[in-house]
Amino acid sequence: MSNPNLIGGGRLTRAEVKGLNGDHRRLDNKTVSKSALLRRLWQYLGRNRLLLVLSLILSVSSSLLALYGPKLSGTAINAIDLGAGKVDFDTVIRCAVLMAVFYTASSILTFLLNAVMIRLSRTVSKQMRHDVFENLTALPVSFFDRYQTGDIISSITYDVDTVNQALSSDLLQILQSIVTVTVSFVMMLTIAPRLILIFLFTIPLTIVFVKWLTQKVRPLFRRRSGKLGELNGFVEEMLSGQKTIRAYDREAAVLERFDRKNDAAVDAYTVAEAYGTITGPSVNCINNISLALVCMFGSTLFLRGEIGLGDLSSFVQYSRKFSGPINEIANIIAELQSAFAAAERVFSLIDAEPERADDENAIELTDVRGDVELRNVDFAYVPGKPIIHGLNLHAEPGSLTAIVGPTGAGKTTIINLLMRFYDVDGGGVYVDGKDVRTLTRKSLRRAYTMVLQDTWLFHGTIYDNIAYGRPNATREEVIAAAKAARIHGYISRLPQGYDTVLSDNGTSISMGQKQLLTIARAMLLDAHMLILDEATSNVDTRTEQRIQSAMRTLMQGKTCFVIAHRLSTIRSADHILVLDGGKVVEQGTHDSLMAQNGFYRKLYEAQFDSVA
């Protein structure tokens, strides 16, 4: 479910993520039978029945025209009477003209078939990518906490392209090969039935060998796709952290890690391809043996007068056409293992369990007052490893609640529970007296505006970025929000002003300016509750004070939750919740907590001691 009120791109802390899905996060975590994969792929093909039927007609027609050539060449050879030294030129010329016409027509139909298959595969890959991305937008936040972004991107791009290649070329080749093998077998049966017995030995041998090799190769291609996904995930992570890498002089260490992952990906690719390329030469060897046997026994039949020279020539040509596609199919089967491995990863995204649907009796959250309460809440990301235990919190409408505590205390977890990115294990979260599990997620999340420490800006104009949550907002409203966020002056000094295009997550502007833009985006929304997760951590103290003042003015009458490490910024909060180890150890106003001379006072004074 998309959430236009989600401002930023926050993640769980390392402590919170640890153990969510084993040591690391891989998409290729289950094996699917080939028949099941073929059925899924066939469902995509079946959505384009017209193109599919047209491709079948073109494939059969082009193959039949090409396969009639050996029969005509045999007829032309039989028109030569070697004993009498005479040649029936009319028959030879007629056969030659027909062969030219048939082969030309076959080439034209093959060209049309390629065009149809490209169109078909393009349509299938487009639909497949749509299905993947559509399901990604419906997945719970926990899914993206478990899997690397680069691995997901690799599946959407590389794996879908691999499947597309199999559909556009391999499938076409299989269709033509099936027709060629069938027609060639029938023609050979009509010419010399006894020579067919040779293939009763070579064909089973080919089938057994290909089946054995397929079982050997498929896990290797699955491993290849997985290693490439790991490499892409690492590259995406390192590219996003270039400034940190350079600041800590870690280029050499990062390059060493990249080389290890690159070597692993190359090794996986090499091993898979090495075994995959064994198929073609091995099957070709078996086919050459069958051709040698055909020539040997066919010559014996010719010398005994049981078969004509033209018929023997036609049989040899058909035997080559019969054996050739078998060799091609064997090569394609090896390539299909790569496609199957890629399809497994693609379908693992399509089949990933979406965020649990709202209860059928779920109601819309309307007329929001902003009364929020957590009652005896227990929660664990991993069973047996609780993060929150027995948490109680009551935020009255229009109040400002600050949540403080050391790293890993559970501050971000509380936000995830408020937004219902995760459901509680025990107790309940209530808004205006209603359990959030009885509300629709869409209406609950639209009741909040959320500004995270990790800013998120998309490629587009500054105006579009501020108006992201309200696409129909007027320019005057956008400018008013920018002024309130103290970013209007900076925008006005830009050459294109609000029409300035931001790219690559706004790398051309400072972190503080990016944060101010996301705050302006939040101010534009008409939400009744506000969540600030370290939202002012990237701005200077003076700007922070101005934003705090503007924020309090704009959010009057609205319930606010603030996660802050700089405790000086939340002294005016109506209620401060102090967390440690997933439990509320203290709560109250700043003055009352300082008077208690407890955990909060130690945190507060420690910050000033560290500054001093």
Helix (H, G, I), strand (E, B) or coil at 564: coil
Residue 137, pLDDT above cutoff 50? yes
- Residue 428 has a pLDDT of 92
pLDDT at 19 over 50: no
Q: Is 232 exposed, middle or buried (0-12, 13-18, 19+ CB in 10 A)?
A: buried
Beta bridge partner(s), residue 374 = 393, 429
| Beta strands 426-431; 400-404: pairing state | unpaired
**Count helices and strands in the chain by DSSP H and E runs:** 21, 15
- pLDDT given at position 431: 92
Q: By the 8 A CB rule, do 252 and 171 touch?
A: no
Residue 18 reports pLDDT greater than 60: no
Q: How many other C-beta atoms lie within 10 A of the C-beta of residue 494?
A: 12
| 433-485 pLDDT tens trace | 999 999 998 888 888 887 777 777 877 888 988 888 888 888 998 998 888 87
Please give the average per-residue pLDDT across 240-262, as a whole number: 74
The whole-number pLDDT of residue 95 equals 83
Alpha helices in 18-88 (DSSP H): 34-46, 49-78
Between residues 329 and 610, the one the model is more confident about: 329
- Confidence band, pLDDT 50/70/90 cuts, at residue 247: low
Percent with pLDDT over 70 in the chain: 81
d(CA 46, CA 489): 57
CATH class of the domain comprising 37-52+116-350? mainly alpha
Question: Which residues contact residue 416 at a Cβ distance below 8 angstroms, ignoring those fewer than 6 apart?
Answer: 12, 141, 422
Specify which of 50-54, 71-75, 192-196, 507-511 reaches the highest per-range mean pLDDT: 50-54
Ranges assigned E (strand) in 380-471: 388-395, 400-404, 426-431, 434-435, 448-452, 460-461
Q: Give bridge partners of residue 388 from the DSSP assignment.
A: 379
Supply the pLDDT for residue 539: 61
Task: Give every CB contact of residue 605 below 8 A, 6+ residues apart in sequence.
Answer: none
* Strands across the sheet containing 372-379: 388-395, 372-379, 426-431, 434-435
Please, is 464 exposed, middle or buried when counting C-beta atoms within 10 Å of its C-beta (0-12, 13-18, 19+)?
A: middle
Across the chain, what does the average pLDDT equal? Answer: 77
How far is it, in rounded angstroms, from Cα 533 to Cα 402? Answer: 10
Give the separation between CA 474 and CA 480, rounded to whole angstroms.
Answer: 10
Query: Where on the phi/psi map is residue 405: left (φ > 0), alpha (ψ -120 to 50), or beta?
Result: left
- How many other C-beta atoms can be found within 10 angstroms of the C-beta atom of residue 398? 16
The answer to whether the 37-52+116-350 and 372-611 domains have the same CATH topology is no
pLDDT on residue 13: 45
Of the listed ranges 27-36, 104-113, 363-372, the least confidently predicted one is 27-36
**Rounded mean pLDDT, 385-407:** 84
Q: Give the residue carrying structure tokens 């959505």.
A: 47
Sorted by where each begins, the domain ranges of the chain are 37-52+116-350, 372-611
Give the CA angle between residues 266, 267, 272 to the nearest 5°: 100
Residue with tokens 């005479």: 86
3-state secondary structure 510-527: CHHHHHHHHHHHHHHCCC
pLDDT at residue 430 tops 90: yes
- pLDDT at site 359: 82
Distance (Å, rounded) from C-alpha 185 to C-alpha 191?
10
Q: Cα(605)–Cα(299) distance, rounded to whole angstroms? A: 102
Q: What one-character DSSP code corresponds to residue 32?
A: -
Q: What dotted CATH number matches 372-611?
A: 3.40.50.300
Question: What is the mean pLDDT of the segment spanning 576-590?
Answer: 83
* Average pLDDT of the segment spanning 127-134: 86
Instruction: Please tell me the number of Cα atoms within 13 Å of 71 on its side-chain side.
Output: 18
Instruction: Tell me whether strands 426-431 and 434-435 are parallel, antiparallel or unpaired.
Output: antiparallel
DSSP annotation of 225 reads H
Instruction: Quote the pLDDT of residue 506.
Output: 56
HEC profile of 272-300 = HHHHHHHHHHHHHHHHHHHHHHHHHHHHH
Q: Are 382 and 578 in contact (CB under 8 A)?
A: no
pLDDT value of position 12: 46
Q: Which of 219, 226, 218, 217 is closest to 264 using CA atoms?
A: 226
**80-81/559-563 β-pairing:** unpaired
Distance CA(453)–CA(577), nearest Å, equals 19
| Residue 487 φ/ψ, nearest 5 degrees | -120, -5
Mean pLDDT value across residues 307-322: 74
List pLDDT tens digits, range 153-199: 878 887 888 888 777 677 767 777 788 788 878 887 877 777 777 77
Residues with Cβ within 8 Å of 402's Cβ and at least 6 positions away in sequence, in order, are: 561, 562, 563, 564, 570, 573, 575, 576, 577
